């Protein structure tokens, strides 16, 4: 039996309130709503929540440049190396976007620059970010 509330009128079986809450959490990750996310995580929301494309809260926060949100999520148990459905990691996304503070937060939180496809190392090479290649290879 599932822990997700069921709605008999909804063929997916997922309660509309759960979907609405998940949307709020994804929006908070995208917009840097660190305090809001912290409150929901304290109330039991999963730190590794992922959307229909496999993008986790960390992935969304990283891609949108919210280092403080990334730090909070990792502190609360989010996996910094969890890949989305395309094999991408939050660190590779941060490299692509040029988000230095997010890169530091992810590395501090244990992210592996060699994880994912393309990895953060490969992404840095593709975009000629030699300083990041050296930083990653020096780990």
In 3D space, the residue among 111, 50, 37 whose CA is nearest the CA of residue 84 turns out to be 50
Q: Do the domain assignments include residue 89?
A: yes
Q: Do the domain assignments include residue 112?
A: yes
| Segment 8-38, tens digit of pLDDT | 444 455 678 888 889 999 999 999 999 999 9
What's the pLDDT score for residue 16?
83
Q: Do the domain assignments include residue 101?
A: yes
Q: Do the domain assignments include residue 69?
A: yes
- What percentage of the chain has pLDDT greater than the value 70? 89
Q: Do the domain assignments include residue 10?
A: no
Q: Do the domain assignments include residue 2?
A: no
What is the widest separation between alpha-carbon atoms in the chain?
Answer: 55
pLDDT at 128 over 50: yes
pLDDT at 130 over 80: yes
Q: Do the domain assignments include residue 47?
A: yes
* Domain count along the chain: 1
pLDDT at 41 over 50: yes
Q: Do the domain assignments include residue 83?
A: yes
Q: Which domain holds residue 109?
A: 16-137
| Segment 43-75, tens digit of pLDDT | 999 999 999 999 999 999 999 999 999 999 999
CATH number for the domain harbouring residue 34: 1.25.40.20
Query: For residues 115 and 111, what is the distance between their CA atoms, to the nearest angstrom?
Result: 8
Question: Helices 16-31 and 34-42 sit at what angle, rounded to 10 degrees?
Answer: 140
């Amino acid at each position: 039996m599932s822990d997700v509330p069921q709605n008999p009128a909804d063929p997916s079986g997922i309660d509309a309130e759960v979907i609405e809450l998940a949307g709020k959490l994804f929006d908070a990750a995208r917009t840097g709503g660190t305090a809001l996310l912290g409150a929901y995580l304290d109330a039991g929301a999963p730190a590794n929540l992922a959307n229909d494309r496999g993008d986790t809260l960390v992935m969304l926060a990283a891609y949108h440049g919210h280092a403080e949100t990334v730090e909070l999520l990792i502190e609360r148990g989010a996996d910094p190396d969890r890949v989305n459905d395309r094999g991408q990691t939050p660190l590779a996304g941060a490299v692509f976007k040029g988000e230095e503070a997010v890169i530091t937060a992810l590395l501090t939180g244990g992210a592996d620059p060699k994880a994912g496809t393309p990895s953060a190392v490969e992404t840095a090479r593709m975009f000629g970010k030699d300083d990041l290649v050296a930083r990653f290879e020096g780990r």
